[in-house]
């Protein structure tokens, strides 16, 4: 968990700078995956599933165009026959699934990015000090118990993957399943309709 901070806006000629505090204090949740994705399309689909998930959890609308969901990708190529990964490259602030796909595949193939068709080094971060990590004495340690986690798990709503499985069992086509389950508003309307006795396939159309 983090919070957005102010953003510096510099004039074109460098004569002055302004501070944009419009998003200051907005909660930021960072989700870090394991390094077990192999292609750009696989990573893009992972991000797309997260986008489908967060509205169900009520934590975000997942709108990438508005900046509610952004992705940083870390690419580290592991040559065949080697146990260790190569040098890691981080590509920041990707705001579309196609950008994630292209950036990863270009980086794997020839160290390219989506705008300049090459990777441009912005800064280097070698260790913890470069990330500016430091203890905050005014923040107490947060201890999360197993019971607390279990209670949250028990209170979760039906999530997209569970909805897709349920809709498939209703005999709906995969196209209908995806259209219904991928949008929480559509799925809630559909479920309410069939709860009133509507025909499943007619309601899906």
CA–CA dist 59, 156 (Å, integer): 12
Three-point CA angle 182, 188, 192, nearest 5°: 145
Q: How crowded is residue 183: how many other Cβ atoms within 10 Å of its Cβ? A: 15
Residue 56 in contact with residue 157, Cβ under 8 Å?
Answer: yes
Residue 111 in contact with residue 54, Cβ under 8 Å?
Answer: no
pLDDT tens, the chain, 205 aa long = 777 777 788 887 878 888 888 877 778 888 888 888 889 999 999 999 999 999 999 888 888 888 788 899 988 887 778 778 777 888 888 889 999 999 888 888 864 544 445 555 656 655 555 556 677 788 888 899 999 999 999 999 999 999 999 999 999 999 999 999 999 999 999 999 999 999 999 999 8
Alpha helices by DSSP H, 14-120: 40-57, 97-110
Q: By C-alpha distance, which of 57, 87, 67, 66 is closest to 75?
A: 87
């Amino acid at each position: 968990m983090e919070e957005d901070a102010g953003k510096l806006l510099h004039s074109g000629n460098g004569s002055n700078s302004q501070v944009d505090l419009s998003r200051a204090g907005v909660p930021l949740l960072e989700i870090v995956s394991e390094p077990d994705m192999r292609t750009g399309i696989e990573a893009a689909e992972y991000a797309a599933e997260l986008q489908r998930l967060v509205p169900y959890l009520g934590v975000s609308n997942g709108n990438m165009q508005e900046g509610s969901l952004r992705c940083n990708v870390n690419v580290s190529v592991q040559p065949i026959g080697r146990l260790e990964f190569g040098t890691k490259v981080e590509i920041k602030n990707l705001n579309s699934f196609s950008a994630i796909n292209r950036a990863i595949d270009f980086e794997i193939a020839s160290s390219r990015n989506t705008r300049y068709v090459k990777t441009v080094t912005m800064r280097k971060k070698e260790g913890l000090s470069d990330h500016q990590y430091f203890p905050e004495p005014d923040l107490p340690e947060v201890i999360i118990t197993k019971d607390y986690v279990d209670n949250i798990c028990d209170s979760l709503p039906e999530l997209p993957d569970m909805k897709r499985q349920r809709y498939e069992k209703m005999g709906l086509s995969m196209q209908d399943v995806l259209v219904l389950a991928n949008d929480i508003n559509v799925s809630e309307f559909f479920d309410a309709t069939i709860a009133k006795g509507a025909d499943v396939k007619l309601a899906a159309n």
